[in-house]
Amino acid sequence: MFDIGWDELLLIALVALVVIGPKDLPAVLRTLGAWVAKARNLAGEFRSHVDEMLREAQVDDMKREFDSMTSPPEIKEIEDQLMAGNVPLAPPAKTETAAPPVAPAAEPTSEVPQQ
Q: Within a domain: residue 3?
A: no
Residue 43's nearest CA partner among 51, 55, 31 is 51
> What single letter denotes the amino acid at residue 8?
E
Q: Within a domain: residue 64?
A: yes
Q: Within a domain: residue 112?
A: no
Rg of the chain taking only CA atoms, in angstroms: 40
Total count of residues recorded for the chain? 115
**How many domains are contained in the chain?**
1
How much is the pLDDT for 115?
A: 60
54 DSSP assignment: H
Determine contact, residues 54/46, Cβ cutoff 8 Å. no
105 DSSP assignment: P
Q: Residue 19, SS3?
A: helix
Q: Within a domain: residue 39?
A: yes
pLDDT by residue, tens only, the chain of 115 residues: 567 788 998 898 899 889 988 899 899 989 999 999 999 999 999 999 999 998 888 888 888 888 777 767 677 777 788 888 776 555 656 666 666 666 665 565 666 666 6
Q: Within a domain: residue 48?
A: yes
**For the segment 22-46, what is each residue's pLDDT rounded down to a tens digit?**
899 899 989 999 999 999 999 999 9
Q: Within a domain: residue 101?
A: no
Chain centroid offset of residue 113 CA: 77
Rounded Cα distance between 115 and 107, Å, is 22
> What single letter denotes the amino acid at residue 107?
E
Q: Within a domain: residue 89?
A: no
Domain residues for the domain of 76 are 22-84
**Distance spanning both ends of the chain, measured CA to CA:** 107
Q: Within a domain: residue 66?
A: yes
